[in-house]
Amino acid sequence: MSLRINDIAPDFSAETTQGRIRFHDWIGDSWAILFSHPKDFTPVCTTELGYMAKIEPEFSRRHCKLIGLSVDPVESHQAWLRDIEETQGCLPRYPLIGDPDLAVAKLYDMLPADEPGTSEGRTPATNATVRSVFMIGPDKRIKLMLSYPMTTGRNFDEILRVLDSMQLTQASKVATPVNWKPGEDVIIAGSVSDDEARQLFPQGWQAPKPYLRIVKQSAA
């Protein structure tokens, strides 16, 4: 069965570069980003993991943990980390999951169901679907799912923006419009009646249409 937004993120135990974890226990009461890459010692993945290492403090400031995954064993991850630090100028401090039997990749639908059962003999080309991102809330439910093609590095600034949006909308009865950035105007959620909105936003709002009610983020 395919995973969907608001499903409970599948729990699992796995070896990582920082020891064995139980995923839900590792998340604790934090947000979490689980992101996979096709193969260690490949060019696009090297730039991605290096950039995530650079901006990890931004995720930490938002009470969000990072964890990577590929179908390579942990020993391969450990060796590759040195290359990432050398070429990208930053050493990943977040754990990387070793998934050589594809257990987690299949659990999260990162690979087709008929893929072979191990990573032995696999190449980056045969791992083309394994460049995924899952954002998971403290309630252990999936909040966001993204999958990218092999040749396209992900925009992790966008993942950070989505986290900002979700944390804001979780705390306030608002939604964020297209291309929203922190500090910009937000939209009163459609589930909020005008009567309730008057209680929540006594300063009022702009409404070019009755269903499009715009307020300052500071009011949210």
* Helices 156-171 & 43-61 angle (0-180, nearest 10): 30
The tokens describing 102, both together, are: 């594809």
Active site residue 90: no
- Which SS3 state, helix, strand or coil, does residue 124 take? helix
Q: Looking at 14, 27, 45, 53, which residue is catalytic?
A: 45
Distance CA 149, CA 171 (A): 33
Q: DSSP readout, 146-182?
A: EE--TT----HHHHHHHHHHHHHHHHSSEE--TT--T
Enumerate the active-site residues.
45
